[in-house]
């Protein structure tokens, strides 16, 4: 049964050392607060899955929590490279990590296969692409009807998925709006899902019937964390903090500056600090 | 290249504007971030008002007032005709054959339009780990045509790329067909110095038009392979006042919005 929990407990109950975990969010609704809580609790040997790792995986990799990362774009979107991830891949600092790299189409199809309970995804992809030669999990199958050779990748089945969403109702149903990315598939593909939300409302009675709602029984725990996706954004609540993404490029460029920043803004901080961080980004409605 | 500056526009402005001219109102364009995004939005704001711009975050038919920093900025969704989930984006819209133009940038490019945005050096032990392909490997093969835009440099335009992130024409000729790829692939390359098109048979990119004030030597000096020029070489028309104003206004709005010093139209 779903539980409403403080974030600290929701993370402690659902994430364990050695887990395969997805913190999903496609630029929008990135579950930063949940990732920071995981960093504070100091998990080790995680396999981190995400289409667009960006800042939170840069942080987790930089703190030495990851043994492997599965991704399709390891960049700071619109800014450049992820410097902590680069340091790990290029120099093995602070530890060497294993890399499994896909295209967006490959990851999106693999999550969908996970949600659909299939062992693998089949799609038209990776043709002529170098990734097929360096990633043994990219294979091919032949269509039994047409003979067309198609790409196949194993389904993604995380132990636990974390997402951020706009709101839950009191029963624990969750509404996701705007750029919904891969979140629904990532939740349904996982054994357990934890959702942080901006707020809880009485009910969803007035919602349009076709909106993306995750029923309460697909989720293990909900934590209310206003501002919980900063510096990403929550459509309808606050804007993306683009300046923070630009600033991250400088912070992550230096090992010591990174550690100092993490100590102050993550280790000595808490989920309650997120609301203040988005105050100036809330739209004057 | 100081020549172009004296003409009242920069090489980069010429590149973006030349790229924007290649797009039509009835195009359905899958937009890569960076240089392609600027070109696509200049096209929309000038001669191609009805163009459908699609970003891989799932936003279809979007019309942002400022250029997005990421492919998933909120304004893309707010101004879109519809926003779909990422698997739907790649399965129905891209793989389904709905995209007429895939517009890509490149870190490394070879003369057959193959693109590397993955690693410099060896994959297992890279000298520089770049962000990787994202949507590009399938944009390059499922879009009906691919346009590429990048500023010229010897580091960027190389004889041999370090990694095949996105397949162009491979080794040239009918290499795409032999791999079962039935789309046209790269049909246009717009740099800060010239417009290039693939040779119809060999598929090697050939300069067909030089931007105003640019010499053949300049093109060769900033390219890592021996450049072929078309027999009838055109001169790219200089940017019009409207094109330049549209681009500069867009970039000024974008800069202000991303630095957090202004909120554009939301203010």
Mean pLDDT by 10 residues, chain A (285 residues): 95 98 96 98 98 96 98 91 95 97 98 98 97 97 97 98 98 97 98 98 94 97 98 95 94 98 98 96 70
A74, A101, A182 member nearest B85 (Cβ): A182
- Interface membership of B123 toward A (CB under 8 Å): yes
A57 touches chain B (CB under 8 A): no
Residues A64, A136 within the same domain:
no
The SS3 assignment for B59 reads strand
User: 73-102 in A: which are within 8 Å (CB) of B?
Assistant: 73-75, 77-82, 85-86, 89-90, 101
A199 beta partners: A167
Q: How far apart are CA B40 and CA B58, in angstroms?
A: 17
Residue numbers in B near A131 (CB within 8 A): 118, 133, 137, 165
What is the percent of chain B with per-residue pLDDT over 70, rounded to a whole number? 95
Q: Is pLDDT of B264 > 80?
A: no
**Residues A148 and A33 both lie in one domain:** no
Kindly report the length of chain B.
Answer: 267
CA A125/CA B94 separation, integer angstroms: 11
Q: Is the pTM of this model over 0.80?
A: yes
Q: Supply the pLDDT for residue A79.
A: 87
Confirm whether A118 is domain-assigned: yes
Query: Are residues A69 and A181 located together in one domain of the fold?
Result: yes
Give the minimum alpha-carbon distance from B128 to chain A in angstroms, rounded to a whole number.
7
Question: Do A166 and A150 lie in a common domain?
Answer: no
pLDDT of B247 above 80: yes
A9/A143 same-domain check: no
In this structure, are A146 and A172 located in the same domain? no
The tally of domains found in chain A comes to 2
Q: Which two tokens stand for residue A145?
A: 């009807």
What are the tens digits of pLDDT across the range A205-248? 999 999 999 999 999 999 999 999 999 999 999 999 989 999 99
pLDDT at B267: 26
- Residue A285 covered by a domain: no
- Among A27, A80, A101, the residue with its CB nearest the CB of B57 is A27
Q: Tell me which chain B residues have a C-beta less than 8 angstroms from the C-beta of A182.
A: 85-87
What's residue A205's pLDDT? Answer: 95
Is A91 among the domain residues? yes
Give the domain range for residue A41.
3-102+157-272
User: Within a domain: residue A281?
Assistant: no
Which residues 62-91 of B are in CB contact (within 8 Å) with A? 68-74, 76-78, 83, 85-87, 89-91
Quick: pLDDT tens for B159-188: 999 999 999 999 999 999 999 999 999 999
Structure confidence at residue B70 as a pLDDT band (50, 70, 90): confident
Enumerate domains of chain B plus CATH numbers. 2-266 (3.40.1080.10)
> Which of A118, A134, A154 is where one domain is finished?
A154
Residue B231 known to be catalytic: no
Rg, chain B, Cα only = 18
A138 and A236 both lie in a single domain: no
**Which pLDDT score is estimated for B260?**
58
pLDDT of residue B251: 94
| Chain B residue with minimum CA distance to A79 | B69
Contacts of residue A247, Cβ cutoff 8 Å, sequence gap at least 6: none
Q: Which one of A154, A172, A187 terminates a domain?
A: A154
- Whether residue A197 is contained in a domain is answered as yes
Q: Is residue A227 part of a domain?
A: yes
Q: What is the pLDDT of residue B261?
A: 38
Q: Identify which of B76, B85, B170 has the shortest CB distance to residue A180.
A: B85
A31 lies in the same domain as A136: no
Residues A83 and A111 in one domain: no
Are A123 and A158 in contact by the 8 Å Cβ rule? The answer is no
Say if residue A78 is in the same domain as residue A162.
Answer: yes
Helix axis angle, B11-21 to B35-45, nearest 10°? 60
Does a structural domain hold residue A282? no
pLDDT at B74: 87
Count of helix runs (H) and strand runs (E) in chain B: 9, 14
Is the model's pLDDT at B1 over the cut of 80?
no
Q: Inter-chain contact A72–B134, Cβ cutoff 8 Å?
A: yes
Q: Would you call A105 an interface residue with chain B, using a CB distance cutoff of 8 Å?
A: yes
Question: What is the model's pLDDT at position A285?
Answer: 38
B263 pLDDT tier (thresholds 50, 70, 90): very low
Whichever domain contains A89, its CATH number is 3.40.1080.10
Which residue among the candidates B13, B56, B204, B243 is catalytic per the annotation?
B56
Tokens of B160: 């041999």
In a shared domain, residues A185 and A129: no
Contact state of B137 with A125 under an 8 Å Cβ cutoff: yes
Q: Could A104 and B133 be called an inter-chain contact, meaning their C-beta atoms sit closer than 8 Å? A: yes
Would you give the DSSP letter of residue A249? H
Q: Same domain, yes or no, for A137 and A33?
A: no
Question: A16-20, B102-106, B144-148, B261-265: lowest mean pLDDT where?
Answer: B261-265
A214 CB neighbours in chain B (<8 A) are none
């Amino acid at each position: 049964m779903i539980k409403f929990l403080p974030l600290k407990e929701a993370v402690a109950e659902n994430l364990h050392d050695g887990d395969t975990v997805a913190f999903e969010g496609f630029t929008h609704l990135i579950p930063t607060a949940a990732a920071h809580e995981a960093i504070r609790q100091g998990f080790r040997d995680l396999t981190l899955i995400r289409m667009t790792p960006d800042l939170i995986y840069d942080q987790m990799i930089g703190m030495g929590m990851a043994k492997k990362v599965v991704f399709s774009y390891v960049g700071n979107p619109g800014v450049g490279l992820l410097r902590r991830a680069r340091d790990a891949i290029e120099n093995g600092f602070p530890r060497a990590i294993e890399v499994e790299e896909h295209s967006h189409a490959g990851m999106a199809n693999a999550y969908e296969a996970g949600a659909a309970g299939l062992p693998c995804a089949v799609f038209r992809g990776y043709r002529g692409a170098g990734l097929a030669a360096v990633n043994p999990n990219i294979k091919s199958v032949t269509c039994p009807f047409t003979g067309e050779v198609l790409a196949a990748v194993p389904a993604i089945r995380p132990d636990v998925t974390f997402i951020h969403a706009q709101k839950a109702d009191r029963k624990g149903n969750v509404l996701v709006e705007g750029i919904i990315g891969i979140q629904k598939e990532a939740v349904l593909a996982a054994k357990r899902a934890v959702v942080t939300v901006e707020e809880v409302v009485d009910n969803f009675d007035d919602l349009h019937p076709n909106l993306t709602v995750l029923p309460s029984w697909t989720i293990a725990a909900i934590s209310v964390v206003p501002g919980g996706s900063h510096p990403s954004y929550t459509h309808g609540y606050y804007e993306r903090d683009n300046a923070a993404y630009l600033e991250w490029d400088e912070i992550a460029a230096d090992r010591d500056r990174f550690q100092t920043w993490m100590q102050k803004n993550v280790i000595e901080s808490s989920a309650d600090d997120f609301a203040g961080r988005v105050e100036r980004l809330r739209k004057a409605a | 290249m100081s020549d172009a500056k004296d003409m009242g526009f920069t090489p980069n402005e010429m590149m973006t504007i030349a790229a924007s001219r290649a797009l039509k109102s009835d195009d359905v364009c899958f937009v890569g971030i960076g240089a392609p995004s600027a070109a696509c939005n200049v096209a929309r704001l000038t001669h191609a008002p009805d163009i459908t711009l699609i970003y891989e975050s799932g936003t279809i038919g979007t019309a942002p007032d400022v250029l997005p920093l990421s492919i998933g900025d909120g304004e893309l969704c707010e101004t879109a005709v519809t926003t779909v989930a990422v698997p739907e984006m790649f399965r129905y819209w891209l793989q389904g054959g709905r995209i007429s133009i895939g517009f890509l940038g490149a870190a490394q490019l070879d003369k057959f339009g193959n693109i590397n945005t993955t690693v410099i050096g060896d994959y297992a032990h890279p000298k520089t780990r770049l962000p990787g392909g994202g949507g590009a490997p399938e944009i390059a093969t499922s879009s009906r045509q691919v346009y590429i835009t990048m500023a010229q440099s010897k580091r960027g335009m190389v004889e041999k790329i370090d990694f095949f992130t996105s397949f162009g024409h491979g080794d040239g000729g009918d290499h795409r067909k032999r791999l079962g790829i039935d789309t046209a692939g790269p049909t246009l390359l717009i740099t800060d110095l010239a417009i290039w098109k693939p040779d119809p048979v060999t598929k090697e990119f050939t300069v067909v038009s030089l931007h105003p004030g640019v010499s053949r030597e300049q093109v060769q000096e900033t390219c890592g392979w021996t450049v072929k020029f078309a027999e009838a070489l055109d001169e790219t028309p200089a940017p019009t006042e409207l094109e330049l104003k549209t681009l500069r206004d867009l970039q000024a709005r974008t800069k202000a919005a991303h630095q957090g010093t202004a909120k554009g139209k939301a203010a």
